[in-house]
Structure 1
Amino acid sequence: MEMILKWLEHKELGSDTQIFCDGVGVLGLAKPKKIGGYVPDVFCSMPSTGHMIIGGAKTPNDLETRHTKNQLEAYADYLALHSESGELVIATRFAWAPCARSILNNLNSVRTKGKPEVQVLCEFGIWG
């Protein structure tokens, strides 16, 4: 989750940006709402532009589970339906970045609608 928050620090975010984070010890950030029955690690909304970002941190053991696939599908569908533009982000280890990219690219709304935009983050920055 920290990887996603650091990445957000370097993006050009509007003055109306709202960031919600599912973490302990993060001051000033509220917990994200459930989306399709799942709580994302990070939810970022920019009302003035209609842009939203949903991010999840995934360990190698967590990445290829049915739970994660269903979770990511729910997030991608939400972004495709409720944002003018959206990004779905996975943060994982470098060795698992290709797997994460493949999972994101094969989500139904990404394949059929071409949205949301997908990003993979690793300890070295944006992967791919």
Structure 2
Amino acid sequence: MDEVAGAIADPVRREILLMLRDGSRSAGQIADRFAISRPAVSRHLRVLREAGLVRDTADGRRRVYALVTAPLDELAGWLERLTRPSGWEHRFDALETEVYRTRRERRRAAGQQSSEEEIA
């Protein structure tokens, strides 16, 4: 998971992954999209490949890259656990509801008691 998180930490690599989401691309097609050198794009592709996020195949003299989403599943699961409400949050909501209900009942009881005292 650390290697995947490190690979997607760079905005160029994230953009490459988004490009590949729409289908396979050659290294040249990917490099043409960026204002950085081809060797720099090649290094980004190597990082993505080593993290298991892309696979490459030879097509003649070209390298064609495709997205591999499986390594993102573990990271996505961890992020979900991080962002989903904990069990405590639901318990605190229930406690808050009970506090408000108790206060309301006490106010009603106090109001009825003062009405009874006025009548007597």
TM over 0.5: no
TM-score range, shorter chain: under 0.3
So what's the TM-score if we normalise by structure 2?
0.25
Q: Tell me the TM-score normalized by structure 1.
A: 0.24
